[in-house]
Amino acid sequence: MSALRIARLRKRFGAQEVLKGIDLEIGSGEFLVLVGPSGCGKSTLLNVIAGLEKAGEGTVEIGGRVVNDVAPKDRDIAMVFQSYALYPTMTVRQNITFGMECRRVPRPQQEEALARVARLLQIEALLNRKPSQLSGGQRQRVAMGRALVRDPMLFLFDEPLSNLDAKLRVEMRMEIKQLHRRIGATMVYVTHDQIEAMTMATRIAVMHQGEVQQFADPETIYNRPATLFVARFMGAPP
């Protein structure tokens, strides 16, 4: 069974067709990177997977279930954005447990989940701080903590590192990669950064103007680009 399957997906905003028939399929535990230049439709595709945008045509399947008509909160996903969107008046602990609170997860279970992700992300010492008392990298870790406590079938990341400086970006890249290995989760990660794509992905979908030009593992993308656009964009020699 595939963790995520997208078939003949189309989406338009008014006169503009933003997704022009996308087909993708990944197995459980894969790290799929959607890469392409700004405006090519990456966020729209991710939002359709999340249910924040409706598909025009085609199907989205998560864990073997067609979710086109399933509300975002019932899709068994968790999303991490580039703006961390932490609640400024809440502590780290409250930020992480807030979602569980809303879903009425019993207290002991909340504590257990919190302890697990705090250890995993090494933020145990930060639990009583407010977001304003954290560095950019720490905030990003808290945002990931909030996704992790949900223990979802699918993690969705939309350029989560683009607000960080170059050095921290490389560090966090490695951290997310390690996290992926450790918990064996399925992740879909949007970036416009070729190096991020090459270093993190088990599979890459290179997008251009609403189409997937190539869907393959990093080595194949680099050594055998399917189109001139892929070759140029991914930086391989022509």
Please give the backbone phi and psi of residue 200, each rounded to the nearest 5 degrees, phi first.
Answer: -100, -30
Among 8, 23, 39, 65, binds ligand ADP (CB under 6 A): 39
Verify binding: residue 161, ligand ADP, rule CB under 6 A.
no
Which residue number, 18 or 154, has a Cβ lying nearer to ligand ADP?
18
Those residues whose C-beta lies under 8 Å from the C-beta of residue 139, and which sit 6 or more positions away, are 84, 86, 131
Task: Tell me the site size for ligand ADP, rule CB under 6 A.
Answer: 10
Q: Name the amino acid, one letter, at 195.
A: I
d(CA 57, CA 52): 15
User: Binders of ligand ADP among 3-32, rule CB under 6 A?
Assistant: 13, 18
Verify binding: residue 203, ligand ADP, rule CB under 6 A.
no
Verify binding: residue 87, ligand ADP, rule CB under 6 A.
no
Contact of 56 with 120, CB cutoff 8 Å: no
Verify binding: residue 72, ligand ADP, rule CB under 6 A.
no
CB of 57 to ligand ADP, least distance (A): 16
Contact of 188 with 46, CB cutoff 8 Å: yes
Verify binding: residue 40, ligand ADP, rule CB under 6 A.
yes
Binds 18, which of ligand ADP, Mg ion, none (CB < 5 to 8 A, cut-off by type)?
ligand ADP
Instruction: Determine the angle formed by the axes of helices 107-121 and 92-102, rounding to 10 degrees.
Output: 140
Those residues whose C-beta lies under 8 Å from the C-beta of residue 168, and which sit 6 or more positions away, are 136, 137, 161
Binds 39, which of ligand ADP, Mg ion, none (CB < 5 to 8 A, cut-off by type)?
ligand ADP
Verify binding: residue 223, ligand ADP, rule CB under 6 A.
no
d(CA 25, CA 98): 32
Strand 16-26 versus strand 203-208 pairing type:
unpaired
Among 15, 38, 74, 106, binds ligand ADP (CB under 6 A): 38
CB of 103 to ligand ADP, least distance (A): 28
Verify binding: residue 41, ligand ADP, rule CB under 6 A.
yes
CB under 6 A: which stretch of 35-43, 56-64, 67-75, 107-115 binds ligand ADP?
35-43
Which residue number, 85 or 90, has a Cβ lying nearer to Mg ion?
85
Residue 192 DSSP class: S
d(CA 228, CA 238): 7
Contact positions toward ligand ADP, by CB under 6 A? 13, 18, 36, 38-44
